[in-house]
């Protein structure tokens, strides 16, 4: 188990390798995931306070490049909780205009990940 702190929500022990967006959602994290966890929408974005992963999926990196958001935020649907980390949820469902947060992302990262190292 590893520790996940979600700012303004709490601190939780999470099974290692859990997808971050699910760890947040399943611990009352109030997060959107409009594209169902496929690195297409950015509504699952988080800011890392601590413990930012050093690797990206190619899909995440391409989306962040497209949005000119490298270094600004990460896509929680493309990260796993594999060590202690602290995050701020940037797109809360409760304050968005979305009727629902989006379909539940798959337990595994989708699309199937190609991992690349931090290119910042
Ligand atoms: S980019 Fe859409 S849920 Fe992560």
- Residue ranges of domains in the chain: 2-102
Residues with Cβ within 8 Å of 40's Cβ and at least 6 positions away in sequence, in order, are: 63
pLDDT over 90 (residue 28): no
User: What number is the average pLDDT over the span 114-118?
Assistant: 89
pLDDT of residue 38: 98
CATH 1.50.10.20 is right for the domain spanning 2-102: no
Q: Which two tokens stand for residue 88?
A: 């701020």
Contact 24, 101 (CB under 8 A): no
Average pLDDT, the chain: 96
pLDDT over 90 (residue 77): yes
User: What number is the average pLDDT over the span 8-19?
Assistant: 97
Which of 20, 31, 32, 39 is the pocket-test mutation for ligand 1 (most atoms within 8 Å of CB)?
39
Quote the ligand 1 centre to 74 CA distance (angstroms). 10
User: Which residue ranges have their beta carbon within 6 Å of ligand 1?
Assistant: 33-35, 37-44, 75, 77
Region of 37 (left: φ > 0; alpha: ψ -120 to 50; beta: rest) is: left
CA 74, CA 78: separation in Å to the nearest integer?
8
pLDDT over 80 (residue 57): yes
Quote the ligand 1 centre to 102 CA distance (angstroms). 9
pLDDT of residue 110: 97
CA 16, CA 116: separation in Å to the nearest integer?
20
């Amino acid at each position: 188990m590893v520790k996940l702190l979600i700012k303004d929500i709490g601190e939780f022990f999470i099974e290692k390798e859990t997808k971050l967006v699910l760890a947040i959602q399943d611990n009352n994290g109030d997060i959107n995931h409009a594209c169902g966890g496929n690195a297409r929408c950015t509504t699952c974005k988080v800011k890392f306070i601590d413990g930012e992963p050093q690797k990206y999926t190619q899909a995440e990196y391409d989306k962040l490049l497209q949005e000119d958001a490298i270094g600004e935020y990460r896509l929680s649907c493309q990260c796993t909780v594999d060590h202690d980390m602290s995050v701020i949820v940037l797109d809360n469902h409760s304050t968005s205009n979305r009727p629902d947060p989006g379909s539940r992302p798959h337990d595994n990262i989708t699309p199937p990940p190609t991992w690349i190292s931090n290119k910042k």
